[in-house]
Amino acid sequence: MDKIDKALRKLLPAERKEIKNIILLINTGKYSQLDLKKLKGYDDIFRVRHRRWRIIFKIDRENIKILSLEKRNDNTYKF
């Protein structure tokens, strides 16, 4: 089990459904519906903000990899 699956298991069912829908939008490339921002210092790493949750992902030549799914805190953007 990777850390993304582990984080999803800790969520309430309603939150889990919302986050899974956001991940689906990320994978299909429909970024216009999301609160998306490129991270400073990186050309290929982005974050999506949803309430208190942050989904950090990387885009490599048409491949998308979810790096982190965390609650917002001081250590969220350190990886």
| CATH number for position 23 | 3.30.2310.20
Return the structure tokens found at 6: 């582990």
Q: How confident is the model at residue 7 (pLDDT cuts 50, 70, 90)?
A: confident
pTM of the model: 0.81
* Average pLDDT score over residue span 9-28: 92
Q: How confident is the model at residue 39 (pLDDT cuts 50, 70, 90)?
A: very high
Q: Other CB atoms closer than 10 Å to residue 46's CB: what's the count?
A: 19
Contacts of residue 45, Cβ cutoff 8 Å, sequence gap at least 6: 38, 39, 56, 57, 58, 67
pLDDT at 1: 52
Return the structure tokens found at 79: 């990886």
Listed range (41-45, 54-58, 68-72) with the worst mean pLDDT: 68-72
Residue 26 lies in a domain: yes
DSSP 39: P
- Give yes or no for residue 79 having a pLDDT over 90: no
Residue 76 lies in a domain: no
Residue 41 lies in a domain: yes
13 lies in which domain range? 3-71
